[in-house]
Structure 1
């Protein structure tokens, strides 16, 4: 059955009616999942296999039949490992129906269907008894319910229910134990993702609103590939602390808990950020360990396993605290059933034994709800700000009437500070408008920028007090943008506002260019690579399901990824493949571009990276992609503020690097759809 649903187009701003089907949602879920990444994680699979074999052996040594409960079975891989290790029967629970169907196909293909029962339910709905889902309680509990924060996927409630209802007392658990580690650091880079910093404009100082500086921030964890954050970017103020452990072989509680670690400060500084990760002991002795520690903790960083399904966590303290070397400190972690949060106390300020546990962070200033963490980093980027200020300084006059079109942007504030006669600003939401109002009030500029909560298509001359716009400006940044070219919404806004512009109006940025480079990824390719066989088991049914999902309606599209977290090498030079002239209205006819880039470096070409560069004026450019020239070896340095587009080749192409082969490309921008169609091939030159 086909249905149609309305969706806001992030480029044109219009409401598009899109053909749907009952299968669409789960196809997208599968296509965007990390199942391939997990199956390619040999370190994870190996440690699980070792732990399962050891647990099965311990139960057999007691003379018992081995009955396994596998919660969150996914592909059924861990259940098949248990059967291979000698288990007598497995109950494999998977709540996601398409995944349960794939698991059924996989266990059948590997000859385990008689000894593995797939149960398509949430584990808390599973029953035990003659007429239940399970005939008896299990004596081995296998789970993979973890996320970057360890407990964010509901591991604690699931374990709690399993111990009460589904497993025997004294059962063996794989993993046996999880331990959470944390380290207090000072980091200008990381802190810039949490708080708005003051900025100098024309000799004046723009300060953040007090409500923002005093706000505890967003409660959600910041999960990143911490291996890509150089140790030079932070200063450890304390040792690596063991915060708490959870023993999964015993009853588990999902109730609120807090744990503290006392230590003497290693150096003086500002306590701002907590870096955190966890590891899994697969057996009671702790001899089989799967760790999420970042690569720079390894004696040989290149030996660290890569995974995207489990990363590391960054927690921002509610307020930064001055710390002196040798000072006695207490770092406290609290958790409910789904999330963690941290706080820092000095022994000289209060007794950690009697202090009340800190409340879960909650944004009270609205800025942390309007601006994402990368957006905070972008607003705090001094070099980027100076580029925009320089551009504004070069075009503004005493009689300039400015209109800002971006979400939660400080450009209108800068325009006023530089001396524009009148500044208007369009905001897409009331909350965003209120945040900018706070900035204006904190700097005694209330009323100096007129904020309008109205769409560009609805703006009239009366809204502008009869003024005509002489400078239309944008970063451009829009909260609805996912892919780099979604910011072309600025172009559609400019077109809608054409009747309100002076004949010689300045458009800032004046143009934008779409750039591409063909790359070899160090690791990111794994998320889209077929698995075929995993630890000796045939999982092609999973590959087939993922491929069907990728082929579902949107198969030939790029994906958004923050490439600063995912190292890659350029195998071609970078080039601008398409130009968008904002000084003119959006054309009615499509814009097309074709060409080819010789493969000048050896490697496996996994795909192309795509990004936008904004030409604010003729001589000032801001890149949302590469921020440094590509090195001789092909190393790329990417902006941390925006996600880039990645178009994966399936399969990857081999490059000899002699320039005889080239990546041919074809791009077509469809103005009516606001979409860029792209196609790539490899050809000899």
Structure 2
């Protein structure tokens, strides 16, 4: 849904707003309008996680670059720009390559300019500064950036570095730029960094195609010069569990068949590369091959939209190929002396390398249990790239992806879930806990009407199978028709009839007794899990509580609510890699970036240490718990949603440097607390919220605290149901 004024058109940004800071800069949609007075507007989509409602927030160009930092902080503090700008090896490599490539005044184009760092490097190399002495230099630099909030930030940075008049800023996508209109002539040099973890996901191929066709001279100089994609075959039980629900479920004897025999592909991960910090699972990986080259992309040449290659890989050991792990290496100069790599640490002889979150390795899952491979056996890997992705096939064992989503029709239907959700549904301990909780409730009372408030197909199957007298209404707010289509496909295998299951599209806020067929609701349950919410903070799953509140008048007096409580947990941790990736900026390769720290939510400069962000904490580089786990606040789902406050003393139990607080929710399924489902850091399939401290605290513990050390942190939290925000305050003590 989008509201577009006349003369507006929907476009996508070259610099991408992240829904999840642990992912690269993800794509988003915004609208840009040009009025008669040339005022630009961007409509940024804003989602309310508690209601599922969305609205378009207007960002206007004439709000002024001197507007308060708070104007754009909410938009930019949750992106990966800060992490990227703190990547010193990346910055140094680009600076050295640009200094080497530009040997005379020339015309430079920077596509996806971000803060303008590469543009300023190019301008400095040519001696272009906001100074009268620079007049007569025929060099020029044009910075092309389509995301308006970042353009505003870039202009502030250019002014602070005396380059506002030396660099032309275009608030456009590069494929909207016209020679003779936006730029005087074709550019001699292209500098750009529009790369994601997969390399191609930010539109590298179509961007280079248009640039070579319309914006660059023949045989231009480019920085980077080229990129090479590498891969390696691996065996890993952990990676196998992230995608093969059928074979994992076969080992669980609970009678629930999420993936019945004959429907092995009814649930699966999307055939794509999945970004992951593979160093975090190094000990759970068996390498089955040496690294091998897959594709090479020369930035100085027009790339093709489609490419294929076959790589013959010799096994270095015996095992089961569960995945292809891939990464890329940039050669930034033509001679090949300046490089940058996203390879895992086991590839480098020293194992050294700085942790960063904006680029990870990628994992391509081999379907099923994988492909058996004997030492010295040779296997053929077929790789295909399109405009924005790369896919693989171990011939002849695996169908290759077309890059299209699965169609919802007949036997071809597949419910695509995230790898972590696949692993949760195949986890015997998790299933046992939830199954026991449901059985306990059903033994007390057979519900006449049960509502599945979230997107859990597992809960829908459980209740439908275990309570033959219940009518089930599934909200499936994210799955929508896909959820019901799935239930129809597996109903027979799970022993229930679909005439007892109903999908309701109507918003719960508008329900009446007629919507529940004049029945009261006896059982309202959720995991809670919301389809497509992988980048959400833990408390944003409290949409379940909001739905329960909307249905309050329709609940029976003794209705069972599951979960009945949520416990907000907190632990103080040492997180040096994560903290350093989001630390405040000063000079980057000689260019002052300090004025953007508050806007980007930096640590060490912002008063509150920046926003609370979702991460898989176990993938955040070096991590150490420094305190016991404490409950700081409770959410009581037996009551209507309301503001909550909490306060706790988090005592340090280990010495070290505390960089932040890690928060999550433990879901209490029953009033007796017999079943509690934790989503903490030791449970690797859920993201936690991380609130970094503005300044790290030296942690001691009671009885051995030295001078300058703190024995605890006083943590205060407050939850506002009007916007779903959780405010977190902390004081060393």
**TM-score normalised according to structure 1 size:** 0.83
Matches within 5 A, 1:303-382: 303-317=352-366, 322-325=371-374, 326-346=376-396, 359-364=402-407, 371-382=417-428
Select the residue among 45, 52, 56 that pairs with 2:98: 52
Q: SS of the counterpart of 1:230?
A: helix
**1:135, CA displacement in angstroms?**
4.2
Q: 2:348 matched to which residue of 1?
A: 298
Deviation at 1:231, TM superposition (A): 4.1
Query: Which residue of structure 1 aligns with residue 684 of structure 2?
Result: 640
Preserved contact between residue 78 and residue 600 of structure 2 (Cα < 8 Å):
no
User: Alignment partner of 2:600: what SS?
Assistant: helix
Matched, 1:82 2:122: yes
> 2:323·2:365 contact (CA, 8 Å) conserved in 1?
yes
Is the alpha carbon distance of 1:7 and 1:90 closer, same or farther for their aligned partners in structure 2, counting shifts above 3 Å?
closer
Aligned with 2:650 (options 597, 603, 626) = 597
Matched-pair contact (CA < 8 Å) for 1:10–1:480:
no
| Aligned 8 A contact 2:545 2:641 in 1 | no
**1-structure distance, mates of 2:391, 2:55:** 41
2:435 aligned residue (389, 393, 397): 389
Cα 1:30/1:245, change in 2 over 3 Å = same
2:323 alignment counterpart: 273
Distance in 2 (alpha carbons) for counterparts of 1:645 and 1:110: 35
Q: Distance in 2 between matches of 1:313 and 1:467?
A: 50
- After superposing the two structures, state which structure 1 stretch, 476-485 or 413-422, moved more: 413-422
Residue in 1 that maps onto 2:109: 69
Q: Give the unaligned 5+ runs of structure 2.
A: 1-38, 64-69, 128-136
Aligned to 1:632: none
Alignment partners' CA distance in 2, 1:664 and 1:556: 18
Deviations 1:510-540 (A, max 9, x none): 3221111233323222454221111222122
Partner Cα separation in structure 2 for residue 620 and residue 35 of structure 1? 44
Judge which range, 19-28 or 77-86, deviates more: 19-28
Deviation at 1:153, TM superposition (A): 1.3
Q: Distance in 2 between matches of 1:215 and 1:369?
A: 5
* Aligned: 1:248 with 2:299: yes
Mapping for residues 418-433 of structure 1, pairs under 5 Å: 418=466, 421-422=469-470, 424-428=472-476, 429-433=480-484
Contact 2:717 2:727 in 1 (8 A): yes
1:223 is matched with which residue?
275
Unaligned 5+ runs, structure 1: 351-355, 627-636
Q: Which residue of 1 aligns with 2:631?
A: 576
The 10-residue stretch of structure 1 (596-605 or 336-345) with the greater mean CA deviation from structure 2: 596-605
Corresponding residue for 2:541? 487
Moved more, 475-484 or 390-399: 390-399
Deviation at 1:278, TM superposition (A): 0.4
Q: How does 1:281-680 map to 2 (within 5 A)?
A: 281-301=331-351, 303-317=352-366, 322-325=371-374, 326-346=376-396, 359-364=402-407, 371-397=417-443, 400-401=446-447, 403=450, 404-418=452-466, 421-422=469-470, 424-428=472-476, 429-447=480-498, 450-453=501-504, 456=508, 471-479=523-531, 482-497=536-551, 503-543=557-597, 545-546=599-600, 558-567=612-621, 568-582=623-637, 584-586=638-640, 590-617=643-670, 618-626=672-680, 637-655=681-699, 658=705, 660-670=710-720, 673=722, 675=724, 677-680=726-729
Deviations 1:478-516 (A, max 9, x none): 337522123333334444555665555543333221111
* Residue-by-residue CA offset, 1:102-123 (whole Å, 9 max, x unaligned): 3344334334455443343333
What TM-score, normalized by structure 2, do the two folds share? 0.78
Give the RMSD, CA atoms, in angstroms. Answer: 4.0
- 1:634 maps to none
Counterpart residue number, 2:30: none
Aligned residues of 1:295 and 1:304 also touching (Cα < 8 A) = yes
Aligned match of 2:204: 155
| Aligned equivalent of 2:172, options 117, 121, 133 | 121
Q: Kindly tell me: are residues 489 and 112 of structure 1, through their superposed partners in 2, closer, same or farther at Cα, counting changes over 3 Å?
A: closer
CA distance in 1, matches of 2:403, 2:240: 19
> Alpha-carbon deviations, 1:610-660, whole Å to 9, x = none?
11001223343444432xxxxxxxxxx442322222233334445455274
Contact preservation (8 Å) 1:127, 1:134: yes
Show CA shifts across 1:267-304 (max 9, x none): 55554422111010122332222000012333333x21
Cα separation, partners in 2 of 1:205 and 1:561, compared to 1, 3 Å: closer
User: Secondary structure in 2 aligned to 1:305?
Assistant: coil
More displaced stretch, 408-417 vs 359-368? 359-368
1:574 deviates by 2.0
Q: Provide the rounded CA distance (Å) in 2 between the counterparts of 1:305 and 1:612.
A: 31
Change (3 A) 1:546 1:512: closer
Deviation at 1:72, TM superposition (A): 2.4
Following TM superposition, by how much is the alpha carbon of 1:42 offset from its aligned partner in structure 2, in angstroms?
Answer: 0.8
Q: Is the 8 A contact 2:272 2:403 kept in 1?
A: no
Question: CA contact under 8 A between 2:473 and 2:502: conserved in structure 1?
Answer: yes
Contact 1:76/1:92 (<8 A) preserved: no
CA deviation after TM superposition for structure 1 residue 169, in Å: 3.2
d(CA) in 2 for partners of 1:556, 1:53 = 34
Residues 450 and 242 (structure 1 numbering): CA distance in 2 closer, same or farther, change over 3 Å? same
